Amino acid sequence: MPLGIQQNNNFLHLTMDVWQDQIFFNETVYPAGHFAAELLNVPEETMRELITRGGAISHQVEALALARRGEFIKLLDVTRASLEKLLDALWHCPPYSLMDKGQEQHTLEVLFSPASHNDLLKPASPVREFFFRYLVAAFSIPLGIQHFAVAARYFEEGYLRRLKKRTETFFAMAAHDCFNSEWFWNTMCDLPVPDVEPFTITPDLRSSYVFARHPKQEKETVFVNRYFFDHAISFYIFDLMNGLQHGHAPSRCCGCGTYFLTTNGHMPKYCDGIAPQNNRMTCRQYGAMMRQKEQNKQHPVYRLFTTRTNTIRKHHQRGKISDELRNEALYVAENLRDKALMDNDYAASGYAHDMEQEAIYAQARARLAREDGP
């Protein structure tokens, strides 16, 4: 049996298999902490849509609970429309984005079909009980997602980002300091409906064991922890804490602002996604290039090059030299710079002399004269 099989993930229940520093969701492997980090990338407009739709459903639940038959049936169409819009937004959020949306739409078809009306109206009906559990989840899940996202961003920005090392010990100290901070809990209490799906470091879960094939040795069988969650926020909190235990934590890219998961002790600044500044590079490559450029500014060869080329541009702006001489002088300066970078002896002896302003102009005029000659 492969890891992550037969989990039966749906709107009301989430399941995660944990083995060493990996997690398995619907038979796919991820590093521990993956979903906690990925959730932080849900766009603000999606988050607002979730909260808006969930809030509408919470009011509809109250009305449905008190409604008589005729009014109840009328409210069903409005409630179903709200649920469908909620699902559209929720399926942009991991792990729901990896689940079978068609399965949930089929559940709606059955619950809201005319054939279910009588059962929905019976006070002790299991169908009615399931129906209201489904609606309660519909306005609770968005709040859980919002509350976790606020807590995790606060933790990353205020604590993880300041760490000198990214190891289990440093993560444990950061988590202790953050989640015992009065400022942190004041922030959480100021959120909308803080008592519904509140953030906690003791998530509500059930666990068991399953037996599965070793991910790398198919002939071997391993014990696997299977965790069951009835609350979305518990799923994310457990994934965050489990990731921290294994030295994995969310980090925010300095290039594109995307949150990504780090899985080693390095101090990351950039992710491996496409850089918004240059779509031919990753953020990591672009960051390395900019870092090199910053270092180059302090190099004596580059400092002299920058001084001379700035003067050439100023002379051109003031009309002291022509367009042709400007372009040729910049070309000469670039060649001298490259030669100095490749030849240490030249950089130490002849570079400064050749880079004198009049020497550059003399070389540039000589090149132009050769081009204009017969």
At residue 292, does pLDDT exceed 80?
A: no
Cβ atoms of residues 86 and 57 within 8 Å:
yes
Give the Cα separation of 21 and 233 in Å (integer).
21
pLDDT tens digits, 40-66: 999 999 999 999 999 999 999 999 999
Cβ atoms of residues 108 and 138 within 8 Å:
no
pLDDT, average across residues 316-341: 91
Strands (E), the chain: 14-19, 22-25, 28-31, 206-213, 221-229, 249-252, 259-262, 274-275, 278-282
**What is the chain's percent helix, strand, coil content, to nearest 5?**
60, 10, 30
Spatial strand order of the sheet with 22-25 comes to: 28-31, 22-25, 14-19, 221-229, 206-213
* 90: its two tokens: 């929720």
Confidence of residue 217 (pLDDT cuts 50, 70, 90): confident
Percentage of the chain modeled with pLDDT above 90: 71
Which SS3 state, helix, strand or coil, does residue 239 take?
Answer: helix
pLDDT, average across residues 219-227: 89
Give the Cα separation of 275 and 286 in Å (integer).
7
What's the pLDDT score for residue 297?
65
Confidence of residue 118 (pLDDT cuts 50, 70, 90): very high
